[in-house]
Structure 1
Amino acid sequence: MSKISLKDVRKTYGGDIEVIKGVSLDIDDGELVVLVGPSGCGKSTLLRMIAGLEAITSGEIAIGDRVVNRLEPSDRDIAMVFQNYALYPHMSVRQNLAYGLKNRNVPKAEIDQRIQSAARSLEIEPFLDRKPRQLSGGQRQRVAMGRAIVREPAAFLFDEPLSNLDAKLRVQMRVEIKRLQRSLATTSVYVTHDQMEAMTLADKLVVLNGGRIEQMGSPIDLYEKPATTFVASFIGSPSMNLIKVNAESGITMPSNISAAAGSMTIGIRPEDLHLADAEQAGSFGAKVRVQAVELVGAESYVYGALTDGQTIIFRVAGRSNFALDRECHVQADPDKLHLFAPDGKRIDPN
């Protein structure tokens, strides 16, 4: 059993600088939870507290059935994968994988079996006798993961492990991490600032903001029903359009929400906006002047300005031939709108 539980965990520096502000979180056995948020939100600090690399100020952290607040990192039965690989440069891949097991007096036959099994899973068997300097960045990250796997820990902790890789390798490695985590069924906590990485990897997504949990749930739940404008703007690429409706914006609103629109922020995903020749009754509509077009392959994102200068983004299929400064009209169905109160919290129509 390797459930991880955090109860009202706090971290304060210098007596009055609180960076983790009462985080409570349950991570189920075998679940992959991703902590995501902007720089300075507390995600890496929280991970280091779970690992025991950072002392907690108050609260409780349990791994399995043990409260680990006062346990050393080596006694917590966790394995951590860092962004800088942390491999011993003078050792071969095989020696790097074996090092932690030898320190725990694991029998040699078992060490060899664990290394072969991990190397086979990670496809690094041909590199076992090479030194880290003879490997590519992606191969070194596989070795770092292999060193965690051979430990057979209660939990894996990943601290932005893919941030040093190029874009193509990041995609390849996050698929590999997801596959391995599912096959090993080991409880995992993964930290990243990359919301695309978070969306594709997570069983449960936890968005942190200023040392607090802003929202948590499945990736699709957070994408389709963001609880706040912060989550709406952070999850999704490009992010959700957040529009302040006023007399100068040139926006038409569905009649059922138009009366209150002045005090709300309206959210619309770029893919939920479509071009229209004429205004359709009951829809959200806006006149847009094209400012930039971003081609991303099979589709394009058009960046435009409303009449009051607010930016709005919408998606069109294929290679767009939109001319700059062209005026067009975009619309969205009422059920695609997200409504947020002045304090940034979501308003559900019913």
Structure 2
Amino acid sequence: MAAIEIASVRKVYPGNVEAIKGIDLSIADGELVVLVGPSGCGKSTLLRMLAGLETISAGEVRIGDRVVNRLEPAERDIAMVFQNYALYPHMSVRGNLEYGLRNRRTPRDEIDRRVKEAARILEIEPYLERKPRQLSGGQRQRVAMGRAIVRKPRAFLFDEPLSNLDAKLRGQMRVEIKRLQRTLGTTSVYVTHDQLEAMTLADRLVVMNGGVIEQVGRPIAIFERPETVFVASFIGSPPMNFVPVSELGADAPGLPAGTDLVGIRPESLSLERPEGPALEFETIVELIEPVGGETHLHLRHTASGRTLIAQMRGRVVEAEGSPLRLWCSPRALHPFDTRTGRRTD
């Protein structure tokens, strides 16, 4: 196991296309850090540079006490789990698990011990003699993780490993990966575009956009206090509402200097007026989405024509096309300055 240090790392492709723009990040020994962001933000490129699959244009990557910039992937003592499993179809599960160890000339008894331990941890013991084509997607992903585990690497790198699974299996495998990482205590870097995966898996979340890091922190801390307009818009489902301060008028006193935009989480809009000062929104219901134990209301603000989303617990009796008055406490507002894109409080 090892800490990972990323210092002033850049990736520039031919044509002076800068994919990673001077990133600094420290990952503690045993920590599970999730890189999240939209397509093209640079998260997979950064992971591939850690793995040695992409060259580093500038800066330094350190795994444990070694600078690994010029080391081949096999020399970095890391294990990578891909979204496409990357299993050898002609080999049994046991053969897939043993392959890397045999190449390293690991003693036979040690191979047997490690394979047995990984199979037990991942609950794939009944499948050791099967071929990958005889397994479900979830079972194949377990084998891919098992192949990483048996190597006992200093770090695990996960590149969107659950994106090929259906929603139910993704949920199950999230739990498996979290449990596995807690059991092994191996430093892990996980890339995903899926917010739910990111929020539930991460010890710390790294939100990326346009080749830079927008914010780093515990998932709940980022959700409760996004530092930029981008993070506020990206983290949260349904997404945050944004309203210019000019549309709030006299109902928005006490905002920090420089604030010209406020964010409102959908769950902060209420059918009941809160005690004390409150912002009022007259809206028309345009679409109702029942989502299990809650309801998402897509609304049109009558004063501005702006679209808003409200998240309500349980079922809502309002009909589409009906007027609806909503309230929000000023304490729930997230204040931003659009000139800097940053929070003002």
Normalising by the smaller structure, the TM-score range is over 0.9
Structure-1 residue corresponding to 2:281: 286
The 5-angstrom pairing of residues 79-94 of structure 1 reads: 79-94=79-94
Alignment of 1:59-208 (within 5 A): 59-208=59-208
Residue by residue over 1:22-47, the C-alpha shift from the partner in whole angstroms, topping out at 9 and shown as x without a partner, is 00000000000000000000000000
Question: In the alignment, which residue of structure 2 is the partner of 1:306?
Answer: 301
- Does the 8 Å CA contact 1:6/1:23 hold for their aligned counterparts? yes
Q: Which moved more, 1:335-344 or 1:126-135?
A: 335-344
Which residue number in structure 1 is paired with residue 254 of structure 2? 256
Kept in 1: contact 2:78–2:153 (CA 8 A): yes
Moved over 3 A (4+): 249-252, 278-281
Q: Output the CA distance in 1 between the equivalents of 2:261 and 2:76.
A: 45
Tell me the equivalent position of 2:342. Answer: 345
- Choose 17-26 or 309-318, whichever is displaced more: 309-318
Q: Which amino acid aligns with 2:324?
A: C
Shift of residue 282, structure 1, vs aligned partner: 1.8
Provide the C-alpha distance between the structure 1 equivalents of 2:88 and 2:184, rounded to a whole number of angstroms: 25
Q: Does 1:318 align with 2:309?
A: no
Q: In structure 2, give the amino acid aligned to 1:92.
A: S
1:111 and 1:322 mapped to 2: Cα distance?
63
Per mean C-alpha deviation after superposition, the further-off stretch among 34-43 and 315-324 is 315-324
| Residues 293 and 260 of structure 1: CA distance in aligned 2, closer, same or farther (over 3 Å) | farther
TM-score by length of 1: 0.95
How many residue pairs align between the two structures? Answer: 343
Q: Distance in 2 between matches of 1:135 and 1:176?
A: 17
Shift of 1:281: 5.6
| Per-residue deviation, residues 37-74 of structure 1 (Å, max 9, x unmatched) | 00000000000000000000000000000000000000
Residue pair 1:252, 1:283 contacting (<8 A) in 2 also? no
Shift in Å, 1:175: 0.7
One-letter code aligned to 2:343? R
1:321 Cα shift? 2.4
Answer whether contact 2:274 2:329 (CA < 8 A) is retained.
no
Partner Cα distance (1:279, 1:203) in 2: 34
- 262, 266, 269: which one pairs with 2:265? 269
Aligned partner of 1:289: which letter?
Answer: I
Name the TM-score, length of structure 2 as normaliser: 0.96
Alignment of 1:42-57 (within 5 A): 42-57=42-57
Q: Which amino acid aligns with 2:55?
A: A
* Superposition deviation, residue 279 in structure 1: 9.0
Is the 2:89–2:132 contact (alpha carbons within 8 Å) kept by the matching residues of 1?
Answer: yes
Aligned to 1:223: 223
SS of alignment partner, residue 254 of structure 2: helix
What amino acid does structure 1 have at the position aligned with 2:277?
Answer: G
Match of 1:213 in 2: 213
How far apart, CA to CA, are the structure 1 residues paired with 2:155 and 2:299?
A: 46
Preserved CA contact (<8 Å) 2:36 2:191: yes
**CA–CA distance in structure 2, aligned partners of residues 242 and 158 of structure 1:** 33
In 2: Cα distance, 1:252 partner to 1:164 partner: 50
Q: Which amino acid in the other structure matches residue 316 of structure 2?
A: S
Deviation for aligned residue 1:192: 0.2
Residue 161 (structure 1) shift: 0.1
CA–CA separation in structure 2 for the residues paired with 1:154 and 1:175? 22
5+ long unaligned stretches in structure 2: none
Give the AA of the match of 2:5.
S
* RMSD of aligned alpha carbons: 1.6
- Kept in 2, the 8 Å contact 1:251–1:284? The answer is no
Tell me if 1:296 matches 2:291.
Answer: yes
